[in-house]
Amino acid sequence: MNRIIYKTDEGGVAVIIPADCGLTIEEIAAKDVPPNTPYEIVDVSQIPSDRTFRGAWSWE
């Protein structure tokens, strides 16, 4: 289970959750990450499950 993460224009972090649609996660990243935006594919275990401070998430 993987997720795609990228930094938003507001400085936060967006997390893309792939659907079971027949596309690879690389194809989904190419399609759903905003153009010219760096991203990283990570294991779901790297995404915090505690969303109390969701707005404070950052990605370097």
Partner 1 sequence: MSIVLDGTNGITTPELDSSGPVAGTTADFSGNVTLGSSVLATPTGSAPSYTCRAWVNFNGTATVAIRASGNVSSITDNGTGDYTVNFATAMPDADYSGIVMSGSPGVVDTLNSIVGGNPTSSAFRFTCRSYTAVSTDPVYVNVAIFR
List interacting residues with partner 1 (CB under 8 A).
Answer: 4, 8, 12, 14-23, 28, 31-32, 44, 47, 49-51, 54-55
- Please state the closest distance from residue 60 (CB atom) to partner 1, in A: 18
C-beta separation of 1 from 16 below 8 A: no
- Please state the closest distance from residue 40 (CB atom) to partner 1, in A: 14
How far is residue 60's CA from residue 49's CA, in Å, rounded to a whole number? 19
Give, for 27, the enclosing helix (H) or strand (E).
helix 25-32
Shorter beta-carbon distance to partner 1: residue 19 or 36: 19
